[in-house]
Structure 1
Amino acid sequence: MDIIDKAFNELDSNALYDILKLRVDVFVVEQTCPYPELDNKDRLSGARHIYLKNDEAVIACARCLAPDDVFTGSSAIGRIAVAANERGHGYARLIINKAIDVCRERWPNNPVMMSAQTYLLDFYQSFGFQSVGEPYEEDGIPHQDMVLHTL
């Protein structure tokens, strides 16, 4: 399986559908969190869509955003999701490593930030992310901003 990195306008309709379906399945349905999934950031000029696809569909994804699109002076990784039936195979680790690489290649002098669900802090810390500021609630779920400084 290859990890794919594309801009919004490079996604074909099936890949876009699969990415959006996966994100809704995980964040809205599984986590019972109604929130505005379509936030107009997918189409930003610097946005990159990282995804892993098997023979049938997208099974893991993440979104990278350019500095200042979410965090001032920092690129951002978000919308990280793995299909429920595909967990436990290391796909999240593959996707996050690729997303970090994409951010560092495209925006090399900027830190990488994320708004992490707090139950995943240890996981993200294993990539070198550090907590910044105080935890907060977003869409009814505890979150924590995290930063990964450039090399």
Structure 2
Amino acid sequence: MTSARPLSPEPRLRRARFADLTPFEVYGLCRLRVDVFVVEQECPYPELDGRDVEPATEHLWFEAGGEVLATIRVLDDGATRAIGRVATAAHARGRGLAARLIEEGIGRCGGAPITLGAQAHLEPWYERFGFRRSGPGYVEDGIPHVPMRREPA
């Protein structure tokens, strides 16, 4: 159950590599993922793959009043980039924060092809940004997903 919270009218866009994050920022990013993936979606745990700490991984997020409202991460997979861990706090949804993060993430990919694993029901949402299904669906943590790819413009 979420309680109504006042939101700052202008969330601030932040970005950093893991080594540059403060302990409070790491906690805020992880806390949001747990709230969204574990509590809301009842995943046994958000997949822990160690990629958050890779030197080339970039974390992007919006915060207001010290609270992380939405986050993504951008991975460098060599010839491609990958966007993932897209999460928005329940009380911050409907403000376009995730869309702005996706656009920023795409811009940070330097014209490389981008992949992502989308929750199946969000496939049309990702299509807005030029992503297209790139293979058969699969189930991750009990949730249907589809692989998607965005070619350079």
C-alpha contact 1:24 1:37 (8 A) present in aligned 2: no
Report 1:51-130 matches (<5 A): 51-68=61-78, 73-104=79-110, 108=111, 110-130=112-132
Please report how far the alpha carbon of residue 38 of structure 1 lies from its aligned counterpart in structure 2 after TM superposition: 3.2
User: Match for 2:44 among 6, 28, 34?
Assistant: 34
TM superposition score normalised by structure 1:
0.90
How many residues matched?
Answer: 143
Pairing 1:134–2:128 present: no
Q: Distance in 1 between matches of 2:95 and 2:46?
A: 29
Specify every segment of 5 or more residues in structure 2 that has no aligned partner in the other structure, as ranges: 1-10
Cα distance, 1:8 vs structure 2: 0.2
Change (3 A) 1:36 1:91: closer
Superposed displacement of residue 74, structure 1: 1.7
Contact 1:28 1:34 in 2 (8 A): yes
Classify the secondary structure of the residue corresponding to 2:85. Answer: strand
RMSD over aligned Cα atoms: 1.2
| Unmatched tracts of structure 1, length 5 or more | none
1:23 pairs, out of 19, 22, 33, with: 33
Sequence identity percentage: 40
Which 4+ stretches in 1 moved above 3 angstroms?
Answer: none
Partner of 2:54, secondary structure, is coil
Contact 2:37–2:46 at 8 Å: present in 1 too?
no
